[in-house]
Amino acid sequence: MTGTIPYCDATTCVTAGCTPTVCRGLGIPSNQGIFDRSARAIPGGVNSSIRAFKSVGGTPYIVSRAEGARVWDVEGRELLDLVQSYGAIILGHAHPKVTEAIRAAAGDGTSYGAPTPREMKLAEAIGERVPSCERVRFMNSGTEATSTAVRLARGATGRKRIVTFNGNFHGATDALLAAGGSGLATLGLPGTAGVPEEAVANTWVLPYNVVPVLDNDVAAVFVEPVAANMGVVAPAPGFLEGLRAECDRVGALLVFDEVITGFRLGLGGAQAKYDVRPDLTCFGKVIGGGLPIGAVGGRRDIMENLTPLGSVFHAGTLAGNPLATAAGLAALNELNGDVYMELLARARHLSALLRDACASNGIHAQFPVVGTLVGMHFGDALTEAPSNFDEAKTTDEKLYAQVFHAMLNAGVAMAPGAYEALFVGLAHTDDVMEELAHRSSVALGGLRS
Ligand SMILES: *Cc1c(COP(=O)(O)O)cnc(C)c1O
C-alpha cells in the first residue's frame, strides 16, 4: 500500500506500525479488522442490523468515503453503489450543493433549542409539493415519524386499533413491529423480542393489496403506498382508492408511509402518482438529504392535535435540526419534473441490464420497476412480480446471496438482503450505467462457471 489513495489522511494516523494509506488513523486498514474492532464496541459491529451481512454471509465492506454513485471501502476498493443509504441519497453521495449547505449551516451552530427559518422553509417546501401536507412536523428519523403518527392518529380519533399490512415496514416502532401470519388476516403478534403482546394487541396485520373491511374501532390504516421493503410491490389497481373509501366509511385515518417513496417516486410521492389523498403522511430518507430526519405531514385539523396546540405530545431536542433541514432543502431544490423523468429512465435501464445479465447466465430473476424504484425477486417460484408478502417470500435467498457476493466482488454494492430495493439517483449517469452493465455481466458470468 502506498500513498496513492487521495483520501488517506496520514496526519491523523497515530497507531504504531500502521500503514496510513487507507485507514484514516484507525491503524487497521481492512474491512475484517475494523468490523472485528467495531464488534468489540458495538453489538454485532453495526448500528442497523442489516449492515452486518447476516442474511448473505461474509464480512461487510466498511465505507471510508463516497462520492456520486461510488463508495470506497477502507481497503481502497471502489464500488458502484445501488444502496444509496437505502434511498436517503437521491442526488448521489456528497453532492456539492448539499455538502455546501451543510457546511454553511454548521458554521452557524448545529442546534439551538429554538425555532429556525430553515424548518419553516422545509415545511413550506414539502407542503407546496405534497398538497395533503397542510401542516408538517419534523423529527429525527422515519421511525420517529411513524411512532408520532400512531400516537397522533389515536389521539385525534380517540380510537386504539391500528391496521397494517404484511410485508410493509414502518421502522422500529413498537406498535408497528407486529408480525402477521401468512395469508388470512391475523391479529398482530410481536414481530421481535422486547415487544410485549400488549404493545401490538391493538395492531392488525392484514394481507397487502386486499382492501379490508374495517369497523369503527380503527384509528388508522398505515400503508406503504408502494411497498419497498419486500422487494418492490406495486399497489394493485383500486387498492389505495379502496383503502381511502373504507377509511372514510368508518372514520379511520389513512396514513401513507412515504419514508421511501416521498420525493423518490416524484415531487408528490406515491399519493400524486396514484392520486389518492391520505390524511397523514410519514417522511424520512430523501427529505434530509442524507442527514437524520423524519416528518409527519397532513390535514391541518388532525395535525393541530399535536402539542402545543392540542393534547398529543411531541417533542425532540434535535427536531428540525439546522443541518438536516439545510441538507433537505438543498436536496429538494435540485429535484424537479425533469429529474424524475431521468430517474424513471434509469430505473428501467437498471432493471433491464440486471435482467439481461441474469438471463444470459441462466439465473432466474425478476427486477420489477414501479416508477423510479427497482425491486428484485430471485428463483423461478413466480411467473409474475410478487403482489404480496407471501409471494415475495418465495424469493430464493440462497441464490440472492450468491448473486450479491458475485456482484460485490465485481465492484457493485447491492443491499445485503433479498427484500430490499435497488436505488438509482442523479449520479447514476450513462457512464455509470454502462459500467454497471459490464460489471454485472462479469459478475454473473463468473457465477455460472
Ligand atoms: C426506512 C423506512 C422507515 C424507517 O425510517 P428510519 O429513518 O430508518 O427510522 C419507515 N418506513 C419505511 C417505509 C421505510 O422505508
Sequence ranges of the domains in the chain:
6-93+336-448, 96-333
Pocket test for ligand 1, best of 229, 265, 321 (most atoms within 8 A of CB): 229
Amino acid at 54: K
Same fold, 6-93+336-448 and 96-333: no
Nearest CA to ligand 1 atom 5: 142
Lowest average pLDDT, out of 86-90, 177-181, 204-208, 423-427, goes to 177-181
Give the integer Cα–Cα distance in Å for 418 and 235: 20
CA of 430 to the centre of ligand 1 (A): 29
Residues lining ligand 1, Cβ inside 6 A: 86, 141-143, 146, 169-171, 224, 229, 257, 259-260, 284, 294
With b for 16 or more beta-carbon neighbours within 10 A and e for fewer, the 337-350 pattern comes to eebbebbbebbebb
Nearest CA to ligand 1 atom 11: 170
Sign of CA dihedral 145, 299, 280, 292: negative
Pocket test for ligand 1, best of 143, 419, 422 (most atoms within 8 A of CB): 143
Give the integer Cα–Cα distance in Å for 430 and 45: 36
* CA 293 vs CA 148, 194, 256, 324, 410: distances in Å: 13, 25, 17, 6, 33
Nearest CA to ligand 1 atom 14: 259
pLDDT for the residue 410: 97
CA of 51 to the centre of ligand 1 (A): 15
CA of 146 to the centre of ligand 1 (A): 8
> Any alpha helices (H) in 130-255, and if so which ranges?
142-157, 197-200, 239-250
Of the pLDDT bands very low, low, confident and very high (cuts 50, 70, 90), residue 221 is very high
Proportion of the chain above pLDDT 90, given as a percent: 87
CA of 48 to the centre of ligand 1 (A): 12
363 in Cβ contact with 403 (< 8 Å): yes
Counting every residue, how long is the chain?
449
pLDDT for the residue 448: 77
**Residues 6, 9, 10, 11, Cα dihedral to 10°:** 140
Q: Which strands form 294-298's sheet, in the order they lie side by side? A: 135-139, 294-298, 280-283, 253-257, 218-223, 161-165, 203-206, 186-187
Atom index in ligand 1 nearest the CA of residue 260 equals: 15
List of residues 6+ apart from 11 with CB closer than 8 A: none
How does pLDDT run across 73-130, given as a tens digit for each residue? 999 899 999 999 999 999 999 999 999 999 999 999 999 999 999 999 999 999 999 9
Atom index in ligand 1 nearest the CA of residue 285 equals: 7
Atom index in ligand 1 nearest the CA of residue 144 equals: 9
Of the pLDDT bands very low, low, confident and very high (cuts 50, 70, 90), residue 7 is very low
Proportion of the chain above pLDDT 70, given as a percent: 92
Return the CATH number of the domain spanning residue range 96-333.
3.40.640.10
Return the CATH number of the domain spanning residue range 6-93+336-448.
3.90.1150.10
Atom index in ligand 1 nearest the CA of residue 172 equals: 9
Q: Between vectors from CA 179 to CA 177 and to CA 185, what angle results, nearest 5°?
A: 125
pLDDT for the residue 8: 42
C-alpha cell at 195: 415487544
How does pLDDT run across 261-320, given as a tens digit for each residue? 999 999 999 999 999 999 999 999 999 999 999 999 999 999 999 999 999 999 999 999
